[in-house]
Amino acid sequence: MADDASPPEPLQGAALIKDQVRRLPDAPGVYRMMGEEGEVLYVGKAKSLKKRVVQYAQGRFHTQRIANMVHLTRSMEFVTTKTETEALLLEINLIKQLKPRFNVLLRDDKSFPEILIRRDHRAAQIRKHRGAHSIPGDYFGPFASAWAVNRTVNSLQKAFLLRSCSDNVFETRTRPCLLHQIKRCSAPCVDLISPGDYDQLVEQAHDFLRGKSRAVMKKLSDQMTEAAEDLAFEQAARLRDRIRALSSVSQEQSINPQTLEEADVFAAHAEGGQACVQVFFFRAGQNWGNRAYFPKVVGTIDAADDESGILDAFLGQFYEGQAIPRLILISHDVPNRELLAEAFGIKAGRKVEIAKPQRGEKADLVNHALTNAREALGRKMAESSAQGKLLAGVCEAFGLETTPERIEVYDNSHIMGTNAVGGMIVAGPDGFQKSQYRKFNIKSTELTPGDDFGMMREVLKRRFARMLKEEEAGEASPRPDLVLVDGGAGQLDAALVVMADLGVDDIAVVGVAKGPDRDAGLERFFIPGKTPFMLEPKSPILYYLQRLRDEAHRYAIGVHRTKRKNEMLKSPLDEIDGVGPGRKRALLHAFGSARGVSRAAVADLVKVEGVSEALAQRIFDSFRKG
């Protein structure tokens, strides 16, 4: 007789975790909790997987957030490691890659700007840099903002007269540029300074940025006195101006500690279900700026224990792609302090200390950062409240089912169809999310120049096809609640065709058309199935939507201008197959400019290092097409 008994219900929640514990080793590793759709809810590390995971099965939770996470768990995955430090590093990588819902998430993880003194050219260049250290030279940072770097670079140019121009500009100069005329460059491009003297300026800049500012300024002061005694008053005046520039750099870096050479200072404050982590950077004995972060935390956060846990999770993610200093000062002791210090030491290749100072200047710096964290969170909460009211108003104005958490706005920019680009900006409860902005170079060769509808179709198709692909692969992919397209019925129809083709029917799409004569306040809104309408001229919701539209327009125009500028600066050598950055640099050094290369014979070209006879012939022919 057949067995009619139905299969047992699959285990879930605490019961599933309890069943998993029986097969877990008493060894370090990383665990992942997954939900109904296979999405990763949480990533954690443990010194003993068995002892850590069993705590979730016992049902005694400190917070509602953990209880909710266990309730939603439908499966788990485990990875064992040799040491707890390896488990910590793996946990950090997985959190950054998977962005689990119940982990504390660092939402702004872009790299910090730095100052770079390039050493791969006969005349070293000073410039702002962001990203990997792939260019030979000396790196100084991090700075909290691009503004702080630009201000410092400008002052250093006045003090040390180092060039900031690109290699192409440097090689093609026949007379000094404007920067030399305003006393910000010593003009090595036209040999107004000897290579030896220029190298001395480079070393002085290097020493100053490494913290030897007093020695550098004393040397310049001695030189100024000596010039004045020799009645060389013009030289003395130039040295005086350089000393003033260096003094301005030191004075602008406020709150300079006397006993701290290199450190990062972290302070966390939680209130009202939100958190702020304030970070100060100290390098070469100077304050190089600060930045406030608002990590994403699911559930309520109130106690100091939560602030300690937030800081613990934040530190690991923060240094995933950043340079690690020798000393890290923190406002709250963290559970994994020794483990984090060991992991950071492995990454940095030297000892790293994490300390919570109790007294003295270091404690004052931490308290100062904590005050800034409290104030920043207060401002953030006030802004979030106002932002929430605006988003609720957008929900009502457009008849949405729920208040939008992520709004994407799209616009195109071009001149008669040339250098066409699309821009996407993102806004939500936290305002503009600039790390989420995206640009799209229009690639289709079938579009008629200036076809705005075709460009909008291409941009949206690429954006949402990628979103679907990432979702199918199980990757975290941001999905908007509302899409705004700059334009009227035509742009809206183009967007709806793309969404229908991709099967994306759960995202609201609205067209925003400018008023007659592009008058602000007379915008018309187009929604599928509804008659176009306008909002009250003085409505805060209208002003908010105008800001979104204007920000998308500003971003798209900025991307277009950058692309057009790069196109104008492109060298004919960039179009020649086989001429990469290294050979291009060698050719420009040999012949001074692209025009000089164009006049060279094959016999002259082959004398350049790295240029074969075949490549020389190709270069020669490329300048003589037609």
| CATH at 317 | 3.30.420
Q: How confident is the model at residue 1 (pLDDT cuts 50, 70, 90)?
A: very low
Residues 378 and 336: their CA atoms lie apart, in Å, by: 28
- Average pLDDT for 4-16: 72
Answer yes or no: do 231 and 121 share one domain.
yes
- Cβ(335)–Cβ(320) below 8 Å: no
10 Å Cβ neighbour count for 128?
16
Q: Is residue 610 part of a domain?
A: yes
Q: How confident is the model at residue 110 (pLDDT cuts 50, 70, 90)?
A: low
Answer yes or no: do 173 and 244 share one domain.
yes
Q: Which amino acid would we find at residue 237?
A: A
Pairing of strands 482-486, 438-441: unpaired
- Average pLDDT for 572-594: 79
Residues 563 and 254: their CA atoms lie apart, in Å, by: 37
Q: Is residue 242 part of a domain?
A: yes
CA 562 to chain centre: 18
Answer yes or no: do 283 and 247 share one domain.
no
Q: How confident is the model at residue 305 (pLDDT cuts 50, 70, 90)?
A: low
Q: How confident is the model at residue 355 (pLDDT cuts 50, 70, 90)?
A: very high
Q: Which amino acid would we find at residue 502?
A: L
Residues 514 and 511: their CA atoms lie apart, in Å, by: 10
User: pLDDT tens digit string along 461-494?
Assistant: 999 999 988 887 777 678 899 999 988 888 899 8
Domain stops at, among 224, 252, 280: 252
Under DSSP, is residue 87 helix (H, G, I), strand (E, B) or coil?
helix
Answer yes or no: do 581 and 522 share one domain.
no
Answer yes or no: do 356 and 423 share one domain.
no
Residues 484 and 561: their CA atoms lie apart, in Å, by: 23
Q: How confident is the model at residue 538 (pLDDT cuts 50, 70, 90)?
A: confident
10 Å Cβ neighbour count for 581?
10
Answer yes or no: do 580 and 563 share one domain.
no
**What's the token pair of residue 420?**
């066409």
CA 499 to chain centre: 29
Q: How confident is the model at residue 496 (pLDDT cuts 50, 70, 90)?
A: very high
- Residue 70 scores a pLDDT above 50: yes
- Average pLDDT for 60-78: 81
Report how far apart, in Å, the C-alpha atoms of 69 and of each of 29, 33, 34, 64, 584 are. Answer: 20, 8, 9, 9, 56
What single-letter DSSP state applies at residue 430?
Answer: T
- Residue 389 scores a pLDDT above 60: yes
CATH of the domain at 21: 3.40.1440.10
Answer yes or no: do 584 and 545 share one domain.
no
- Residue 261 scores a pLDDT above 70: yes
Number of H helices, E strands in the chain: 20, 18
| Residues whose CB falls within 8 Å of the CB of residue 511, separated by 6 or more in sequence, listed in order | 484, 485, 487, 488, 489, 491, 492, 495, 525, 526, 527
Q: Name which residue leads in pLDDT, 565 or 153.
A: 153
Q: Is residue 385 part of a domain?
A: no
- Average pLDDT for 5-24: 78
Q: Name which residue leads in pLDDT, 147 or 199.
A: 199
Phi and psi at residue 105, to the nearest 5°:
-115, 130
Chain mean pLDDT for the chain: 82
- Residue 236 scores a pLDDT above 80: no
User: pLDDT tens digit string along 112-122?
Assistant: 788 899 988 88
Answer yes or no: do 197 and 318 share one domain.
no
- The beta-strand segments (E) located in 416-487 are 418-428, 431-432, 438-441, 482-486
Pairing of strands 327-330, 263-271: parallel
| Residues whose CB falls within 8 Å of the CB of residue 455, separated by 6 or more in sequence, listed in order | 412, 414, 420, 422, 442, 447
Percent of the chain having pLDDT more than 70? 88
- Residue 211 scores a pLDDT above 70: no
Q: How confident is the model at residue 108 (pLDDT cuts 50, 70, 90)?
A: low
Answer yes or no: do 443 and 549 share one domain.
yes
- Average pLDDT for 446-469: 85
356 Ramachandran zone, left/alpha/beta (phi>0; psi -120 to 50): beta
Q: How confident is the model at residue 252 (pLDDT cuts 50, 70, 90)?
A: very low
Q: Is residue 1 part of a domain?
A: no
Percent of the chain having pLDDT more than 90? 16
Domain stops at, among 185, 220, 252: 252
- Residue 598 scores a pLDDT above 80: yes
Q: Report the number of distinct structural domains present in the chain.
A: 5
Q: Is residue 202 part of a domain?
A: yes
Answer yes or no: do 412 and 428 share one domain.
yes
120 Ramachandran zone, left/alpha/beta (phi>0; psi -120 to 50): alpha
Among 547, 444, 533, 549, residue whose Cα is nearest residue 487: 549
Q: Where are the alpha helices (DSSP H) in 161-194?
A: 167-172, 178-181
Q: Is residue 28 part of a domain?
A: yes
Q: Name which residue leads in pLDDT, 311 or 216.
A: 311
User: pLDDT tens digit string along 422-443?
Assistant: 899 999 887 888 888 999 988 7
DSSP 186-218: --GGGTSS-HHHHHHHHHHHHHHHTT-HHHHHH
Residues 419 and 414: their CA atoms lie apart, in Å, by: 6
287 Ramachandran zone, left/alpha/beta (phi>0; psi -120 to 50): beta
Omega before 142 within 30 of 0, i.e. cis: yes
Report how far apart, in Å, the C-alpha atoms of 111 and of each of 144, 300, 380, 381 are. Answer: 10, 29, 22, 26
Identify the domain containing residue 618 by its residue range: 572-622
Domain stops at, among 194, 217, 252: 252
CA 213 to chain centre: 30
Answer yes or no: do 419 and 551 share one domain.
yes
10 Å Cβ neighbour count for 548?
21
Answer yes or no: do 421 and 554 share one domain.
yes
Residues 575 and 316: their CA atoms lie apart, in Å, by: 44
Q: Name which residue leads in pLDDT, 511 or 152.
A: 511
**What was the pLDDT predicted at 303?**
45
| Residues whose CB falls within 8 Å of the CB of residue 97, separated by 6 or more in sequence, listed in order | none
Under DSSP, is residue 108 helix (H, G, I), strand (E, B) or coil?
coil
Which of 175-179, 194-198, 281-285, 325-329 shows the lowest per-residue confidence on average (mean pLDDT)? 281-285
Q: How confident is the model at residue 377 (pLDDT cuts 50, 70, 90)?
A: confident
**What's the token pair of residue 303?**
């106690």
- Residue 328 scores a pLDDT above 90: yes
